[in-house]
A = this chain, B = another copy of it.
Amino acid sequence: MKIEDIIKTTSPMAIGKRTVLNIMYTQNVLSERFNEILKAYDLSPEQFNVLRILKGQNGKPTNMCVIQERMIAKTSNTTRLVDKLLLKELVTREICPDNRRKMEIAITEKGLELLAELNPKVECHESVLTQNLTPEELEQLNYLLEKFRTINQ
């Protein structure tokens, strides 16, 4: 469905505005479907994101600032996010021995199991969304988005 029909605009839009709206709206559709999956596991997208970052570290504990840096959407409060994960026993938190200002966060076995359980659903979500596009089109879409983000000046 064309973005014009979705927001039901009367006047024709400049291509730039259309593109921006299209990206915004597409992300929205994406997030809604994804949240649907996570809701059954009582995880917020941000919590999931943190778990995935921790898993990506292959067991190596990770500081709060590294987590914050790697999140897709920069959250303003990683502490409370990790608090929630701690309550669910999905992560551990310890003071870094080298630098007592820092914290070392690590994913637990339970956290890894949750990710493993979620993984097929997430993959399914991703493939349902991408099945309409050929591999070439997907490459092109990624290329265009990356080019779009490159802001000169």
How many copies of the chain does the oligomer comprise? 2
Interface of A is mostly: helix
Q: How far is the CB of A65 from chain B (nearest CB, A)?
A: 13
Q: Does B142 contact A148, Cβ atoms closer than 8 Å?
A: no
Does A21 touch B at the CB level, under 8 Å?
Answer: yes
Does A9 touch B at the CB level, under 8 Å?
Answer: yes
Contact of A10 among B18, B23, B31, B56 (CB under 8 A): B56
Q: Does A145 contact B9, Cβ atoms closer than 8 Å?
A: no
Name the B residues within 8 Å of A153 (CB-CB): 128
7 A-B residue pairs with CB within 8 Å: A7-B70, A16-B123, A16-B129, A21-B72, A24-B73, A132-B152, A140-B140
